[in-house]
Amino acid sequence: MQIAVTPDPQRWVIIPPFPPPGWAREEARHRSAHLGVTGPQWRSELESLLDELQAMERQGRFARLMHIDDVANPPFVVDLSLEIAGDDGSKEGRRATQRALIATMIPEAEPTRLRPGHDMAGFSAFGEDSGATQGAVVLRLAGLPTVPVDLVMRLWGASATSIAPHLEDLVELARQVAPV
């Protein structure tokens, strides 16, 4: 299932799968100016990071975004996908499905219930910093297609302790997601 997302441009950079030439340089220049960074070193490091992210091979259908809202905090990456749930739609079925999705990304993590509003429910989990995935958020969103669908967010690129304080930003991002 394809996904469309319209994030807050002050906090999120959408990493396009096929960007135009010079995209990373222009995005780094724009983001540096927005954050008030005048030094060329930070801008060139951001440009290199953006180049690496867009060059990475993508397995599956997902949207890739980078959270960057402050120079003092390290940026992190979110891979968003919509997964058709194979459960019966009951609370127990939903929870089992969502816990299983988190366990595939972070086997050692203990999921924490997440109910940010009446229109979404799920779990978040943060693992050790040694794995490929530092965190995960799985939410069942009301109002999506009639088939139960979970929004899956794989969080990586920074330490779990750096990502965890941005849980509200991740929930707000979830509110901007729609299937295509």
Q: pLDDT tens per residue, the chain (180 residues)?
A: 677 888 988 889 888 888 888 888 888 888 888 777 777 887 888 888 888 877 776 666 788 899 988 777 888 999 999 888 888 888 999 999 999 999 999 998 999 999 998 889 999 999 876 778 899 999 998 776 667 789 999 999 889 999 999 999 999 999 998 776
Handedness of CA 22, 157, 31, 116 (dihedral sign): positive
According to DSSP, the β-strands at 177-179 and 76-84 are unpaired
In contact, 109 and 133? CB cutoff 8 Å:
no
pLDDT of the residue at 1:
61
How many whole angstroms separate alpha carbon 38 and alpha carbon 49? 18
Q: What is the value of pTM for the model shown?
A: 0.85
How many whole angstroms separate alpha carbon 180 and alpha carbon 24? 26
pLDDT of the residue at 145:
61
The alpha carbons of the chain give a radius of gyration, in whole angstroms, of: 17
